Structure 1
Amino acid sequence: MLEAPPGQIVTFNHAALCSALGITDDPARVVVETDGSRAIVTIYPANPLAVMPPPTVADMMMDRYGRIVVGRHHNGRPARRRLFDKRTGSAQRAFVLGTTGGGKSRTVQYALACEKRNRIVSWYGDLKGGQSAPESENQVDWRATSQEGVVLMLRAAVAVGEARQRRYAALGRNAFLIGDPDPLMSVRIDEANRGLERGAPYRDEMTYLVKELGRTGRSVGIGVELDAQASHLEELGGSDTLRAMLKEGEVVLLRWSSQMMAQLVADGLLPAGVQLMPIRKQLKPPMLRSQFDPAAGDDDDFCDTQGMAYLLSGPTPTSLMRHFRIGSIEPLPGLDPEILALYGPGEPARLEETSHDAAGPAYAARNDATAMAGLCQQLRESYQEQAEKTSGGSTGRTGKPRLDDRVVAVLSATDEPLTAEEVLDAVNEDGGREVKIGSVRNSLGQLADDGNGQGDGTVIRAGRNLYALNR
């Protein structure tokens, strides 16, 4: 136990400390925890986190506080992560951060398996094209593997949240109760930097939708998680709201880089002066051997540190932990049977039927590859058309009317509300460029939202899938 003099904080050099203690075989035997002015140094006879067991079903089930056990701290105590706060009725925001090879994908797989066993509706967007967690196919309610698919998923999640808000307001409810009447829901975006970094094709909309879920999802039972390799704001949509979400949610820090640590301190996730023991890439330290030593051959015996982490939002943020061993140790040519077994038998929990209309056609097509490809193509065309409008002024680069102007012209020609399909037919009969239903729906939505939902947009929603000009 150590304590700094008043006005000072504890700082340490882990390598120098191990040298002073005479521990050179495995620096991970020396564990340091700090809170600024105090420190606890624990010395183990062997690395306590070198070998981790797989989880049990009991570990995967939520306790009375809404937590699951994700692994063990260095002192053997369970490392817990909250999926739901039963005291406040709040779904959780979460952020899993770590460099390549740190164990993010296995951590995500375990969380998805726990959600299935706890009957949580999981929507999972894998921006690595489905490679991060291939075993999750058919084990979650919705799995998207493209930029467009993730945008459609986030749109649907925000719409479901709004539908739940209206229903709960009518009931006089300001918090969420699992299963009364709706299931807890989780929306998770893996490799989130690919969708939120500068230059990503749908960055602005994806950032907006994640912010909306972060703002409103907690009280209606919709949690949101981002899994990423970097924490810099420019790779997270450049959003201060996302910065706040990182501070307040469940934050898991896997192996990091020195630059990442500086960002964590700057973002307020770690108090200034608090140090974390570095997580090395391998548990076995480099061996100093003469190159003339015959034993200095091709020694490839090592143990990596995949899964080691800090639960920054937990009660002991500087206590090193390691996640359970998830899946087979050696790579396999196909799906991992150990990971599949974690998900357990049966179908995953599904979105409540009362929210199917709100989730829209993308949710209905989530398991139909052809239909989903069509919706994704419509989204791409819609963005391309919007880009042409932006670069070409009010009439576009070719001098043709904008889609918004064509939609307004159709609605101006009638006093009766029209469905999106009727607007599409009329627009495609005006002699302009042929468009798809997704582009028309997007245009109608933007025109209706011009008034920030206050009814003073160019277009008003006259009913479900009914639109009229705001006269």
Structure 2
Amino acid sequence: MGPTRAQFIQYAPAALAVASVTVGPWSALAAAAAGAGAWAVNASAPALRSLIACGITATGSGIAAHQVLASGMDPLFALGLAVPAGAAVLAHRRNTAGEHTALPATTAAAGQSSQAQLISAWWAEFISGPTQTEGRKLIQAGAGLEHLALDAGADHVSFTGIITLPQGQQVRVKAADIAAVYQIPVSQVELGDPKHYAPNALPVTVHLKKASSAPEIPAGAPTTPEQLWAAYVAIPEGAMPGTTLALTRYDGPLDWEGVATRARRAIGTVNLQDLAGNLHLETIQVALAPTDKPSQMGVRVMKEHALMHGTMLSTVVDELAMDSRGYVRLGTYIDAQAALVPLAQPGSGARHLYLVGGSRSGKSGVLEQILLSAHKSRIAVILSSPQAGTIAGAPLTAHCGDGLDEAMGALRLAYALMLDREARYRSPAFPFTDPLTLIVIDEAHMLLAASSQYHAEAKAIVEQLTRRSLKRGIGVVLATQTPLAEDLGNSSIIRSQLLIGGGAVFLRCAKGQGSLVGANAVEGAEGIDLSKIPSTWPGQYAKVADRDMSGLNTEAAAEPEDGTFGLGYLLTPGSQAVQFRSLHLDVPPASLAGNQPPVAVEDCDAWRLREAIAQTPMVDQRGKNLVGSLADLLTKAQQGPPGLPQQQRAQTDPAGPAGEDGQELIKPRILELLREESIPMTAETIARKLGTSAKNIRPRLSELKKRNEITNESGLWRAA
């Protein structure tokens, strides 16, 4: 193989000098000077061409002068031949006058590989210059990359060098700048510590391709997803025995998708916690996607969660209205498909929805979205919110019971509306002339739990609503903080009817309260532990810990990836719970409602007497004998609220207020109340029932406890 063009340009003057030694001393001296200059300067191609021309001219002049002297002619003729040589030198000086002393990085040094030339070219184009693109803004002009060294292997490529500037300047090139130029992660750029180097010279190492640090695997151990599946999942004691895995996408051991198949047999429900254990992953890293075939199940393993960036509410507002099948969009599934839930069943009535989610899980956002969907679908809503002021979409409702007592009143109104429709529609014929109606119960545990003063009545009403209301066009949306039976008043009827009559949304719960196994098992959601859903995405803790509070931007809007709000599982009847995320509320839902007024409940007897009905208890003190007919209910409502209980009537006596502070007068009333109600109560509940303040009650409770007449468990008082 012959010399390259660069080698020829560099060494041609030197070769010419050696060849001309035999011709004459003058020419040898001139050619040798040109070759030495080419060797030492390491000049650019234009400079080398000028040196070659200078060497040829000097050589020719030297040969002619030598011949003149040898022939005995006048030496002045030989001296005159020096004029062309001097002119060649001046021309060379003029040609190289515009050359920079420091060559740009785009001009590859002689001997560089093509890969090193490309690295230098990118550095000059985007970082140091001179750039070939007009108007490009450089990162730091003049910050050249010197002493470039390339380390390339089969599985890695990296280069090192020194970022160099003229004396007196300081290197301002950052690792992020270099990473952006070479399109690699910032973690693959290593800059020297400026404290240990001169300001104008900073070493840099860039890993263009890093070797994978795969752990050592014992010989014969399963490594691929298919092998791991066969070794741990498909075995008899695995999560999906007898199945085989076929990958449809593979981007690494923690980022792949596949389809599990069982030959000629249905897979059935899968315990997600067992599957994550088999694959040695967290439950949030594994998602299941049922297919049309019972013998197949889609499986997805994620390194970075697909729902981290969420779906904005404002971008899908047109999908919130109910379609012809009665479905509305609630969020996005793990496979990027729209997550739909039914609010109605055309031709059959309404549908239920069971919502579980702890504090800061996104439960209120889901309820606000449901209120907006109902509003856009022209569905009337009766809202029961025991915890006042928590639902921002309350103005979209036909009736709002905000606060504990008012929330109980909203439940009574919904029950009365069901009785009214049953009286008017003995044999329902759909579609109704009356609007579909939703009764939305937020924080239902505050009404249904055994410690609630309305426990018996609320439990009886909700059981009847979930059993009988669907055919009358009334659906129940019930939200609690945990899936525990206690939150539903220990009623298996309520949960089963909610799940049969609609869908369920499971969001993050507190630790120890989110398991859907054992007594809290839900068919289709086996093995899910809602407390395993993290409150933030992986890596967010470090961001918060490293944040400089002095520069905190208080006006910055929260991004979906700032938390896992709305992340959970969606369960529809007869299917497997699928991982999804509700829509991100980037705008207030009420702002998307338009100018339409709230949908009103039909004009009927129950609605006209709603104020009286809301204040009329519908069960006796034992929680029995729920009012069963509209006529009885209207009669009871028209008679007004019943008389005060005996312990409350005593407060209206003239001697009541005077004797209220007397210890011996109030203690018997506390005992009588606790024995008669036979349910645990808080001090505030006891004070409200006795018409006094908790400040007067608490000392008396402590004294009764010392006498062993009452007990206290976690703030709940009951008769001993």
Which residue does the alignment assign to 1:65? 325
Partner amino acid, structure 2, of 1:5: I
Letter in 2 for 1:345: N
**2:101 aligned with 1:101, yes or no?**
no
CA–CA separation in structure 2 for the residues paired with 1:272 and 1:223: 23
What are the within-5 Å matches in structure 2 for residues 135-284 of structure 1? 135-169=392-426, 172-173=427-428, 176-177=430-431, 180-248=432-500, 249-257=502-510, 259-263=512-516, 265-270=518-523, 274-275=527-528, 278-284=532-538
Contact 1:9 / 1:37 at 8 angstroms: preserved in 2? Answer: no
| C-alpha distance in structure 2 between counterparts of 1:57 and 1:312, whole Å | 22
Q: What is the distance in 2 between the residues matched to 1:434 and 1:296?
A: 59
Distance 1:215 1:45, change over 3 A: closer
What residue number does 1:32 align with?
A: 287
Contact 1:94 1:226 in 2 (8 A): yes
| Mapped partners of 2:483, 2:491: distance in 1 | 12
Corresponding residue number in structure 1 for 2:26: none
In 2, the alpha carbon distance for the partners of 1:326 and 1:205 equals 35
Residue 267 (structure 1) shift? 3.6
2:580 is matched with 321
Deviation per CA, 1:65-115: give whole Å up to 9, x if none.
1001111111110100110112x5131111110111000001000000110
Change in CA separation of 1:124 and 1:272 when aligned onto 2, cut-off 3 Å? closer
Q: Is the 8 A contact 2:322 2:328 kept in 1?
A: yes
- Distance apart, 1:148 and its partner CA: 1.9
Q: 2:593 aligns with which of 343, 354, 360?
A: 343
Q: Does 1:47 align with 2:305?
A: yes
CA distance in 2, matches of 1:153, 1:269: 28
* Structure 1 residue 265, shift from structure 2 partner: 5.0
Q: Separation in 2 of the partners of 1:77 and 1:147?
A: 39
Q: Name the one with the larger helix percent.
A: 2
Specify every segment of 5 or more residues in structure 2 that has no aligned partner in the other structure, as ranges: 1-225, 241-273, 550-558, 623-633, 653-720
Equivalent of 2:547 in 294, 298, 320: 298
Q: Which of residues 69, 89, 94 is equivalent to 2:348?
A: 89
TM-score norm. by structure 2 comes to 0.44
Query: Counterpart amino acid of 2:327?
Result: R
Q: 2:399 & 2:358 partners in 1: Cα distance?
A: 26
Q: 2:381 touches 2:397 (CA, 8 Å); kept in 1?
A: yes
In the alignment, structure 1 residue 358 sits paired with structure 2 residue 606: yes
Name the structure, 1 or 2, with higher relative contact order (CA <8 Å, separation 6+). 1
Q: Between the two proteins, what is the percent identity of the paired residues?
A: 23
Q: Distance in 1 between matches of 2:341 and 2:280?
A: 31
Q: Distance in 1 between matches of 2:484 and 2:383?
A: 23
- Measured after TM superposition, the shift of residue 32 of structure 1 is 3.1
Distance in 2 (alpha carbons) for counterparts of 1:287 and 1:143: 39
Contact 2:466 2:497 in 1 (8 A): yes
CA distance in 2, matches of 1:422, 1:37: 60
Q: Which residue of 1 aligns with 2:234?
A: 4
- Cα distance per residue 1:132-168 (max 9 Å; x no partner): 21x3233210011122212222222112112211222
CA distance in 2 between partners of 1:422 and 1:269 (Å): 43
Q: Is the 8 A contact 1:110 1:342 kept in 2?
A: no
Distance in 1, matches of 2:526 and 2:380, equals 40
Where 2:395 maps in the other structure, the secondary structure is coil
Give the letter aligned to residue 313 of structure 2.
P
Structure with the greater alpha carbon radius of gyration: 2
Conserved in 1, the CA contact under 8 Å of 2:326 and 2:344?
yes
**More displaced 10-residue stretch of structure 1: 136-145 or 49-58:** 49-58
Q: What is the CA RMSD across the aligned residues, in angstroms? A: 4.0
- Aligned counterparts of 2:639 and 2:581: Cα–Cα separation in 1: 56
Contact 2:438–2:474 under 8 Å retained in 1: yes
Give the total of aligned pairs. Answer: 356
Specify whether residues 252 and 273 from structure 1 end up closer, same or farther in structure 2 by C-alpha distance, changes over 3 A only.
Answer: closer
- Offset of 1:17 from its aligned partner? 3.6
Change (3 A) 1:343 1:242: same
Describe the SS at the equivalent of 1:42.
Answer: strand
Given that 2:358 and 2:510 are in contact with CA atoms closer than 8 Å, whether structure 1 keeps it comes out as yes
What is aligned with 2:382? 123
Post-superposition Cα deviations, 1:165-216, rounded to whole Å, max 9, x if no partner, equal 12221xx33x642xx3110000011011111112211111011111111111
Q: Secondary structure at the match of 1:259?
A: coil
Q: Which residue identity is paired with 1:317?
A: Q
- Tell me which amino acid in the other structure corresponds to 2:420: A
Q: Who is 1:312 aligned against?
A: 571
CA distance in 1, matches of 2:539, 2:453: 42
Gaps spanning 5+ residues in structure 1: where? 20-26, 290-294, 329-337, 366-374, 391-417, 437-471
Paired letter, 1:77:
Q
Letter in 1 for 2:533: I
Aligned residue in 2 for 1:393: none
Deviations 1:290-328 (A, max 9, x none): xxxxx9733799721001121122676342111111145
- Do the aligned partners of residues 266 and 168 (structure 1) sit closer, same or farther apart at CA in structure 2, a change above 3 Å counting? same
Letter of the 2:572 partner, please give it: S
- The 8 Å contact of residues 156 and 360 in structure 1, kept in 2 or not, is answered as no
Task: Tell me, yes or no, if the aligned pair for 2:352 and 2:499 is still in contact at 8 Å.
Answer: no
Shift of 1:9: 2.4
Change over 3 Å in CA distance of 1:157–1:245 after alignment to 2: same
Partner of 2:340: 80
Q: CA separation in 2, counterparts of 1:50 and 1:144? A: 35
- The whole-number CA distance in structure 1 between the counterparts of 2:388 and 2:525 is 38
- Following TM superposition, where does structure 1 have runs of at least 4 consecutive aligned residues deviating by more than 6 angstroms? 34-39, 286-289, 299-302, 418-425, 433-436
CA contact (8 A) 1:264 1:270 kept: no
**Residues 8 and 37, structure 1, Cα contact 8 Å, conserved in 2:** no
Distance change (3 Å), C-alpha of 1:272 and 1:41 = closer
- Contact between 1:84 and 1:90, CA under 8 Å: does it hold in 2? yes
Quick one: distance in 1 between partners of 2:485 and 2:352? 17
Give the Cα separation in 2 of the matches to 1:360 and 1:435. 33
Q: Which amino acid counterpart does residue 47 of structure 1 have in structure 2?
A: H
**Distance (whole Å) between structure 2 residues aligned to residue 137 and residue 421 of structure 1:** 26
Change over 3 Å in CA distance of 1:422–1:233 after alignment to 2: closer
TM-score, length-scaled by structure 1: 0.65
1:164 partner amino acid: R
Once the two structures are overlaid, the 10-residue window that deviates more, 195-204 or 47-56, is 47-56
